[in-house]
Structure 1
Amino acid sequence: MQSSTDFLRQLPDSAAHFARGEGFWRRLHIDPIMLLLLLMLTFFGLLVLYSGSGQSTGMVKRQVAFYIIAYGAMFTVAQIDMKILARWAPWFYGIGIILLILVYVIGVQAKGAQRWISLGFIRFQPSEALKIAVPVAVAAYFSSRMLPPKFKHVLASLMIIALPAVLILKQPDLGTSILISASGLIVLFLAGLRWRYIFGSALLLAASAWPIWNFVLQGYQKRRILTLFNPEADRFGDGWNTIQAKISIGSGGMEGKGWLNGSQSQLDFLPESHTDFIIAVLAEEFGFVGVLALLGLYLAIIMRGLFIAWNAKNSFNRLLAGSLILTFFVYVFVNIAMVSGLLPVVGVPLPLVSLGGTSLVTLMLAFGILMAIATDSSKT
């Protein structure tokens, strides 16, 4: 009969095997589960992009190049010491603000907006960098203070959030401004913001609706909001995108028409089918089942991110990880709600699926920080 000591003596080999596997990924500063989920979403995204781009191999190759750069950026950022990131957070934020100001001085105009800076060989959008810099700055600010935050600290954090949001709104870029505001406000909420502040902010926002409508929003932004309630009122103008997206989603049914067989996208009825409205392509060709599969992948990534945030060893890591993954959820929600006609069209791409350059790299930088947090053992 085998004794308990004999049984225990058999465990070290197996335990050492798993420890070696875990140690390998930890030395690389990579969370293997998150990496696997991201790779699955990448493959799925390329599949849908090939169809949404009109079977353009050139566009797919371009996206593959973006993915290579983005994954390289993720692996690089994953090696960062989180203490160094917290220490340098104000500098990153300050450089981001300077770049936003430079957009107004030397920025490049395109499609009626001035959002880019051109260096000749490359053109980039500084507002994308603020998607990382803002939550990092707010998390660093709260990490050195008692929580829940006092009123003066709440005001200071709101100023950190508001400055880049206003600068970006003036470019104009309402979608990015909303996402950056959300990334900072999520940190504020996770820091333990008291409910009286939340309700007070909601009342203030409601009271600000009229001046925002009259003095802040651009004409095309107002039309998009009005179109949300009645897209058929301008079916060949502002309502065209929403109407065609709904047709695509509805015609897919349960199982879809099959890959490359979507009439709306293949016949060019659906606008921006490779960027903002790419989920309508997925819904038409893969149906409700395909949409559920994509949402399942997104949910798994979000749950893994929340797990990383929950197990973070210090307040900076916890606040930052929570903000990054919940902001990722906001990206997904806003895009799907926009395409479905539940929110106005604000130009937010579907994360890791839509064609993108700077936005894709920014997202993967965020996941690189999550990887670094997952493997960071420092408690201060």
Structure 2
Amino acid sequence: MSILPPPTRPKGSVRWDHAAAWRHIDAVLLAAVAALVGFGSLMIYSATRHNDDPTFFIRRHALFLVLGAVVMVVCAVIDYRKLRDWIPMVYGGITILLLAVLTPLGTEVNGTQGWFQIGSIQLQPSELAKVIVIIALATYLSHAEQPLDLRQLAAALLILGVPMGLIMLQPDIGTVLVFSVIGLGMLLIGGVRLRHLVILILIGVTGVAVLLHSDVLEDYQVARLTSFINPEEAESGQVYNIEQSQIAISTGGVGGHGFGEGPQTRGGFVPEQQTDFIFTVVGEELGFVGGATLILLFAVVIWRTWRAAQLARDRVGVLICVGVLSMFVFQMFQSIGMSMGIMPVTGIPLPFISYGGSALLANCAAMGLVLNVHMRRFS
């Protein structure tokens, strides 16, 4: 099962005029990402402006925006076909970081030991691992036979499974789910047999069921993942976040209360609002119009990323775009659905909107790779 174009071999050495490359940049995608970044910055400021230091979060966010812009440019400029030479070292490096974060070098936040504390800044290696795994898996699958045999499938699952296993030990269920969706999307396009895909999905569903009844997760973590199914029977503390989120969104109406005027936001009733529940700020202050505008911007990014995959000149380009697309779509639906109470509370950030430096850098790197593939579609 594959929609990949046949593999191509560049004739002679690959030479590329950078000026010509920038003329082929996807300006629509770039504009949509810029609009999302601006939108997110406003929402982060609104969500945190009533703190003791009203500019603390937005100043940090601005710093990561600058770094993110640099990362995006670097990921767009370096020919994605040359990344295969670096990926073993980079993959090994991120694996070491995921191991190190489980030691006393790591910092625990809300029950998950997934951050490094560097001065006043926290870095989350699992966010960066998403992009690295996309490149590693794309590189491997682009050279594998179609359809994948069991040996090739096992190798692909190993590439995906090592970081997933280490992240599970933190434990960070939300990020593990993101990796799962990335893997399924890339394997589907990369040539996995349908029966193997069905078996993988069944194994995954069974694994989740076993996990929820094991001792790996604390009771409150299980409650966060399952309380959305039947909130009436859950304890009040387990559904507090969801209830406050729904109140904030429902009171926004069509046009919202206005920027900075949301009662739930101003009162600080929604926990972790600038990160996990940032969509509640959109719904409360900008209403249906603001939420629809945000979703429209996401739709443009999804469309242009899929278009880049269709126009890519080789398999690795297609697979990179599909991996980014899978990550982006799932995180968008999960984060918005979580705020609305129709998805489990997993702590997955809303791309380019939620506060979080590591996630912002990862998203910028991912979009840089998509721009990279699009720019080199004629090379």
* Contact 2:351/2:363 (<8 A) preserved: yes
Residue in structure 2 matched with residue 57 of structure 1 by the alignment: 55
Residue in structure 1 matched with residue 4 of structure 2 by the alignment: none
Residue in structure 2 matched with residue 228 of structure 1 by the alignment: 228
1:377 & 1:208 partners in 2: Cα distance? 40
Residue in structure 2 matched with residue 134 of structure 1 by the alignment: 133
Query: Relative to structure 1, is the Cα distance of residues 200 and 288 closer, same or farther in structure 2, using a 3 angstrom cutoff?
Result: same
1:322 & 1:196 partners in 2: Cα distance? 21
Which letter maps to 1:34?
L
Matches within 5 A, 1:1-380: 26-27=21-22, 30-55=25-50, 56-105=54-103, 106-120=105-119, 123-215=122-214, 216-234=216-234, 236-377=236-377
What TM-score do the two structures reach when normalised by structure 1?
Answer: 0.88
2:65 & 2:192 partners in 1: Cα distance? 37
Query: Relative to structure 1, is the Cα distance of residues 29 and 103 closer, same or farther in structure 2, using a 3 angstrom cutoff?
Result: farther
- Deviations 1:108-149 (CA, angstroms, capped at 9, x unpaired): 333333212345575422212211111111111111122221
**Secondary structure of residue in 2 paired with 1:115:** strand
* Contact 1:25/1:32 (<8 A) preserved: no
Structure possessing the higher radius of gyration over alpha carbons:
1
2:100 & 2:304 partners in 1: Cα distance? 37
**Secondary structure of residue in 2 paired with 1:143:** helix
1:360 & 1:25 partners in 2: Cα distance? 28
Query: Relative to structure 1, is the Cα distance of residues 368 and 210 closer, same or farther in structure 2, using a 3 angstrom cutoff?
Result: closer
* Contact 2:164/2:179 (<8 A) preserved: yes
How far is 1:23 from its partner?
A: 8.4
**Secondary structure of residue in 2 paired with 1:228:** coil
Query: Relative to structure 1, is the Cα distance of residues 181 and 290 closer, same or farther in structure 2, using a 3 angstrom cutoff?
Result: same
* Contact 1:28/1:79 (<8 A) preserved: no
What is the aligned length? 358
* Contact 1:70/1:361 (<8 A) preserved: yes
Query: Relative to structure 1, is the Cα distance of residues 123 and 59 closer, same or farther in structure 2, using a 3 angstrom cutoff?
Result: closer
Greater RCO (Cα-Cα under 8 Å, separation 6 or more): 2
How far is 1:34 from its partner?
A: 1.5
* Contact 1:132/1:362 (<8 A) preserved: yes
How far is 1:207 from its partner?
A: 4.0
* Contact 1:244/1:270 (<8 A) preserved: yes
1:101 & 1:28 partners in 2: Cα distance? 42
**Secondary structure of residue in 2 paired with 1:308:** helix
**Secondary structure of residue in 2 paired with 1:104:** coil
* Contact 1:70/1:360 (<8 A) preserved: yes
How far is 1:234 from its partner?
A: 4.8
How far is 1:58 from its partner?
A: 3.0
How far is 1:27 from its partner?
A: 3.6
Gaps of 5+ in 2: 1-16
* Contact 1:274/1:355 (<8 A) preserved: yes
Which letter maps to 2:137?
V
**Secondary structure of residue in 1 paired with 2:108:** strand
* Contact 1:29/1:78 (<8 A) preserved: no
Identity, in percent, stands at 33
How far is 1:30 from its partner?
A: 4.0
2:36 & 2:340 partners in 1: Cα distance? 21
Query: Relative to structure 1, is the Cα distance of residues 241 and 122 closer, same or farther in structure 2, using a 3 angstrom cutoff?
Result: closer
* Contact 1:234/1:240 (<8 A) preserved: no
More helix by share: 1
Gaps of 5+ in 1: 1-21
**Secondary structure of residue in 2 paired with 1:171:** coil
How far is 1:231 from its partner?
A: 2.8
Query: Relative to structure 1, is the Cα distance of residues 88 and 278 closer, same or farther in structure 2, using a 3 angstrom cutoff?
Result: same
Which letter maps to 2:195?
R
CA RMSD of aligned residues (A): 2.2
Query: Relative to structure 1, is the Cα distance of residues 158 and 211 closer, same or farther in structure 2, using a 3 angstrom cutoff?
Result: same
How far is 1:247 from its partner?
A: 0.9
Which letter maps to 1:144?
H
- Deviations 1:213-241 (CA, angstroms, capped at 9, x unpaired): 22344322211133112334456412100
Query: Relative to structure 1, is the Cα distance of residues 203 and 110 closer, same or farther in structure 2, using a 3 angstrom cutoff?
Result: closer
1:205 & 1:340 partners in 2: Cα distance? 25
What TM-score do the two structures reach when normalised by structure 2?
Answer: 0.88
Which letter maps to 2:109?
A
* Contact 1:134/1:161 (<8 A) preserved: yes
